[in-house]
Structure 1
Amino acid sequence: PASVVKELMENAIDAQAKNIHVLVTDAGRTCIQVIDDGKGMSETDARLSFERHATSKIHQAVDLFALRTMGFRGEALASIAAVAQVELKTRLETEEVGTRIVVAGSKVETQETISCPIGSSFSVRNLFFNIPARRKFLKPNETEDSNIRVEFERIALVHPDIAFFLHSNDSEVLNLPVSSLRQRIVSVFRKKLNEQLLAVKVDTTMVTISGFIGKPEFSRKRGARQYFFVNRRYMRHPYFHKAVVSAYEQIIPAGEQISYFLYFELEPDTIDVNIHPAKTEIKFENERFIWKILAAAVKESLGKFNVSIDFDMEGLPDIPVFNPQNSIESPKINYGEKFNPFKTSEPEPVYLHSKTTDWKNLYDGLEKPSFNEEEYALYPNEPFIEKGTQHLQLKGRFILTSVKSGLMFIDQHRAHIRILFDRYLKQIQCRQVLNNEDMVNLVDSLFACQTPNRTPDGHTVLSTIREEYIEKLFK
């Protein structure tokens, strides 16, 4: 059923229809009707349209290499008429009456002149009525309805200048009036999709690529809308899909998908659509170059419109825009004629040869002991560190303080070790020893710890020697 809908809709598009109505009953088992307001057919063409390999879309073999129509084989109507009961009503704009033809199982049952509107109306009833085994293997109605909608959407997405209407069991499913491409995409799927799309546009001598791609923040695990169209024809192309995915590397999580609707326009003689019965696989003459153009176009759109990318323009030079009308002047060089590179600004030294009478002043300050903190510092070359006034504690381990140059982090544990080390070093330098009270306080504080025998680094703090070992030392 979905293939029947696809072929009949493509015929209506080739007939330059502006309004196409698709009516489906029982998922296409009972009836599929496609009505258009295109050019229509004459009585002779209407009769010949059901013959195999009969088509009015190409006139010579060379036309196969420059296809601009959706159909060209002349097999669709003949194949449909072979397995169903088909009724055709058609009329040309220049004719006052039309033609009605009924074909069942490839046999013409009725051909008559009737009154009907301009265009064509195909009714396909009782699909596979003469092949019960094939009809038995039709999928459930829900699946067939879904397949019909997929084919309907693929054609509607690439023709926003045509109004499409889809009805299923007398209920309207889709109503797509003539609109812009972006509005057509939003109408087919959902309104929320509008805010997720980024425009893509690149025009080269080889190919023109336009359409929309999804924003990185709207990636999903499954269910992404991914469509390629070439010369208004839907296609599947894994190679071009990799070009789009490569542009999103390290932007979206691995394994997630992104939606895109990309339209290719190029010369028909550079592609071959006649390599698969469904016409969904297309061979390109310049496939590798188009891959690079596509990848560059997607990356450019992401760089232009993705708000998460921040370009720091501060401090960049102001590059003027080139104007070919302005005359080009050579740069002027200004220099000082009196400039001497060997002349220094320092005053010349003055040498005094007079004898110094106040010789005692030469020894002033020698009797006073000078004190230099760097001689006693642990790290003499360490630069001066600023000290802040406001302090905050982070996770019970770090102290944050603001200084003039920025923000300072202090490790509490290491700071405490540094303070104790300086105290101990000062006591050694001053040759101070602990009195009895200090020793008692030190031992009490040590045994108040959870592990007094080990340091946090695993070193031994205290060890016990038995009395018999002490006695052995004095024997």
Structure 2
Amino acid sequence: MPVGTVISVKNLFYNTPARRNFLRADTTEFNHILKVLRRFFLAYPEIKFTLIHNGEELYQLAAATLDERIVQVFGEKFYKGMVSVREELNQIQVEGFVSRPDFGRGNSEHQYLFLNKRAIQSRSLAHAVLQGYGNLLERNRYPQFILFLTIPPHQVDVNVHPTKMEARFSNERAIYHLFLTLVRRAIQTPGFVPEMQMNSDRPEHREIRRHFQQFRRSGKPSAIQTLGPSPEPAANQLTINYTLPESPAPPALTLEPPPAAPEGHTQATLWQVHNRYILAQVNSGLVIIDQHVAHERILFERVLAYLENEHRAPSQQLLFPQTLDLSLEDYLMYSDLKTWLEKIGFSITELSGRTILIEAIPADVKVGYEGKILLEILDYYRENEDKKYTPNEKIAAAFACKNAIKSGEKLSQEAMNSLVDQLFATREPFFCPHGRQFLAQ
């Protein structure tokens, strides 16, 4: 194509006007465009790109290296959360970047895979990357990656789907294992995961450090290992036995019995099971409550009441305001939701570029989690934007889902009583904000 060629696309729905009715919100459609363009930005960092939307210049990307292009597109914070990786097998090569475990997100939005510089999607290879992290990722968190797979053309078929977004390999198993190995080697990179630090020079601590380092270098699950030279340790010798089973057995059922109520005071009998469910004894039997979904219902109705009554929710001022660099999609979504975010308790100042300063947060948000909660609200709203709910309901559901107490969190007897009392004070105590029943009797 000659240099300077201009391509114009107009009147897309001239012959099929009915298709216009299937368009979603403008922000959603523009995000789809951004997703396509971003693949070109990453695949060809040596090319200069300019993106103008509604007369506003959103991207001015100079020709650069891949590292520089990642900073241009996603920001420096995103780049610092990534680790460079490379693996090769015969004529097959994979290289690029994968995120550290603490840099995972609540969706797989930022997973980019290129086959011979052509953007593709592969559930199998994305699963291989996820499996490579093992248990390092939190539950319901996904790694971010930008990976380039180079393979001889005769070993791949790209004519699997009309969009050319899928591919079939002649040796699927070998490539899957290559991606798995890629991440497992990255785990051993210094700084990829937090190191075990022991500053003590006691002999037993040096022994722990030595065995821990050997285990990390080997990368293999081991049978029971005993630290220390003697099977029968002396009084001043430390021995640690540990086992890493391939398939850990489910935890035993544990119940936390409630303390005895004060004399003359009647209190419901509550137990916590697996730090996930609350069992309450009632006249007609036993009620089982999912603690996360119950708290989600409470927060949903509380936030929805503030939004519908035009009252600002109570907030807490941050002693140290937090700056947050947003991607272009997140910034556009934030701009659309700014009014609602202020109503539920956020106080945010816009700085230069796409950087914001979080100065106050809703009273229900834990200090230190403000940036994470805000990003998860934006992700949740984006994923559910096309659902038939009002904007108030979507914002309330997003905040409730991402800020509710988690499964696995141990609750005191007082906290369980408060949770159950607040749950049955809501309008719909038997259903979560999405309409699913979460209470069984």
TM-score by length of 2: 0.44
Greater C-alpha radius of gyration: 1
